[in-house]
């Protein structure tokens, strides 16, 4: 009798294990099927993407699933890429964390109180009105350090001091004046307030999210360049976008950013004179395929798109040699996401 009970118990355990294995296999098949269904004509999509000579990699995540990771024109989807000004999104996120942790009081904190040692000898009184939010929204009012002024700025002895010494060409809170000097000041503030390199601090704050910076150049004072010359893998940038898409959470449910900060970051505050797209705290806003989308844009066509309504995140990296604005390439990528990627995701949503 005892033997019979042992045999029956063993059979029940064996059956239980087999059922568990079947269910696990079914779940994996379902996930694979869902990913496959989302891009059932993946090769056709890649052929469409290959029409852009500058494109190097493309990553797409839908409903927490990576459904495409591909290199194009010799691009390596696993290699770190210079994301250029798309890294301004990283600075925006870090300001959000710094405020949450009490390192910075708020977006209304005057920059002059945060960087008192970097002010000019005879500071313009308007520097007292300049705050953290103005730097994020590109409404500092200071002469730009980007565009034709970029070379003089990065060849200066002190990038932060140089940016703060630029003459005012508008009032703080005025029109959008896109300038990497603004986000570099934010890097200096975060480094001073946290006591750690911005590079190290980002990787520490975003540990567990899958987003990680591989390299980050520094200015003559050793401050990581806020908003340019940052390298990370496309998959890392995708995971960074996914944190925003999930409302500030990692895939495991760990909170990195508050929902309030994401809402503030995506609130339109000004408008680009070059694209007419609205701009929040480093994020651009535009309609893509009939959906509200938020995106970051780096020189050459380094793009991160987040479309929350579709649970969609897209990263595209490109050759960094040529501009993507005046060439029309960035607009073509917007069209590609609208007309090629989003319709395929819509089909997956319905299936």
CATH number at residue 293: 3.40.710.10
- Work out the average pLDDT over 228-247: 98
What mean pLDDT do residues 171-199 have? 98
Q: Per the domain annotation, does 305 fall within a domain?
A: yes
Pick from 26-35, 102-111, 291-300: least confident? 26-35
Count of domains forming the chain: 1
Whether residue 282 contacts residue 296, with contact meaning beta carbons closer than 8 Å, is answered with: yes
Instruction: Measure the CA–CA gap between 35 and 198, rounded to whole angstroms.
Output: 36
Contacts of 296-300 spanning 24+ positions with Cβ under 8 A: 296/85, 296/86, 296/88, 296/89, 297/85, 297/86, 297/324, 297/330, 298/82, 298/83, 298/84, 298/85, 298/86, 298/87, 298/228, 299/84, 299/85, 299/323, 299/324, 300/54, 300/84, 300/324
Question: What's the pLDDT at 1?
Answer: 44
Instruction: Answer whether residue 14 is part of any domain.
Output: no
CA 105 to chain CA centroid, Å, is 23
Strand partners, 218: 224
Instruction: Flag whether 273 is in a domain.
Output: yes
> Does residue 178 carry a pLDDT above 60?
yes
What per-residue confidence (pLDDT) applies to 29? 41
Domain assignment present for residue 7? The answer is no
Q: Say which residues have a Cβ less than 8 Å from residue 67's Cβ, sequence separation at least 6.
A: 35, 38, 39, 60, 61
Residue 30 confidence (pLDDT) above 90: no
Per-residue confidence at 303, pLDDT binned at 50, 70, 90?
Answer: very high
> Which of 53, 47, 252, 243 has its CA nearest to residue 39?
47
Q: Of 17-26, 84-93, 135-144, 219-228, which range is least confident? A: 17-26
pLDDT of residue 75: 98
What is the per-residue pLDDT across 254-276, written as a single tens digit (0 to 9) for each? 999 999 999 999 999 999 999 99
Task: Tell me what the mean pLDDT of segment 213-242 comes to.
Answer: 97
Q: Is residue 1 part of a domain?
A: no
Q: What percent of the chain has pLDDT over 90?
A: 87
pLDDT of residue 348: 85
DSSP string over 16-60? HHHHHHHHHHHHHHHHHHHHHHHTTTHHHHHHHHTTSTTEEEEEE
7 C-beta neighbours (distance < 10 Å), count: 10
Residue 293 domain-assigned (yes or no): yes
- Kindly state whether residue 107 falls inside one of the protein's structural domains: yes
- From residue 147, give the alpha-carbon distance in Å to each of 89, 150, 152, 154, 242: 19, 6, 10, 12, 30
- How far is 173 from 129, CA to CA, in rounded Å? 9
Average pLDDT score, the chain? 91
| C-alpha closest to that of 237 among 108, 350, 77, 6 | 77
Structural domain range at position 245? 42-350
Q: What pTM was computed for the model?
A: 0.89
> Mean of the pLDDT values across residues 92-116?
98
Distance separating alpha carbons of residues 178 and 135, to the nearest angstrom: 10
Cα(204)–Cα(208) distance, integer angstroms: 9
Helix (H, G, I), strand (E, B) or coil at 86: helix
- Summarize pLDDT for 317-348 with one digit per residue, the tens: 999 999 999 999 999 999 999 999 999 999 98
Residue 346 lies inside a defined structural domain of this protein = yes
């Amino acid at each position: 009798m005892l033997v019979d009970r042992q045999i029956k118990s063993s059979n029940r355990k064996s059956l239980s294990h087999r059922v568990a294995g079947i269910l696990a296999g079914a779940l994996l098949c379902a996930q694979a099927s869902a990913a496959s269904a989302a891009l059932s004509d993946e090769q056709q999509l890649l052929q469409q993407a290959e029409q852009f000579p500058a494109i190097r990699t493309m990553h797409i995540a839908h409903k927490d699933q990576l459904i495409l990771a591909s290199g194009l024109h010799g691009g390596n989807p696993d290699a770190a890429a210079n994301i250029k000004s798309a890294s301004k999104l990283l600075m925006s996120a870090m300001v959000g964390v710094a405020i949450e942790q009490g390192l910075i009081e708020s977006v209304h904190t005057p920059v002059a109180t945060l960087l008192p040692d970097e002010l000019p000898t005879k500071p313009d009184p308007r520097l007292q009105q300049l705050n953290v939010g103005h730097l994020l929204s590109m409404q500092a009012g200071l002469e730009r350090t980007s565009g034709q002024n970029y070379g003089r700025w990065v060849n200066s002895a002190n990038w932060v001091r140089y940016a703060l010494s630029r003459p005012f060409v508008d009032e703080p809170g005025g029109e959008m004046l896109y300038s990497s000097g603004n986000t570099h000041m934010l890097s200096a503030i975060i480094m001073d307030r946290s006591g750690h390199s911005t590079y190290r601090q980002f990787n520490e704050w975003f540990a567990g999210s899958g987003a990680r910076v591989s390299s980050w150049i520094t200015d003559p004072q050793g401050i990581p360049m806020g908003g340019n010359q940052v390298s990370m893998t496309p998959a890392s940038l995708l995971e960074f976008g996914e944190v925003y898409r999930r409302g500030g959470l990692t895939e495991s449910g760990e909170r990195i950013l508050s929902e309030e900060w994401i809402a503030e970051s995506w609130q339109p505050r000004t408008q680009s004179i070059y694209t007419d797209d609205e701009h929040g705290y480093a994020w651009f806003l535009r309609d893509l395929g009939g959906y509200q989308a938020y995106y970051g844009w780096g020189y050459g066509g380094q793009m991160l798109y987040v479309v929350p309504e579709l649970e969609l995140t897209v990263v595209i990296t490109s050759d960094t040699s040529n501009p993507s604005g005046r060439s029309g390439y960035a607009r073509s990528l917007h069209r590609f996401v609208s007309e090629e990627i989003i319709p395929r995701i819509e089909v997956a949503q319905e299936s």
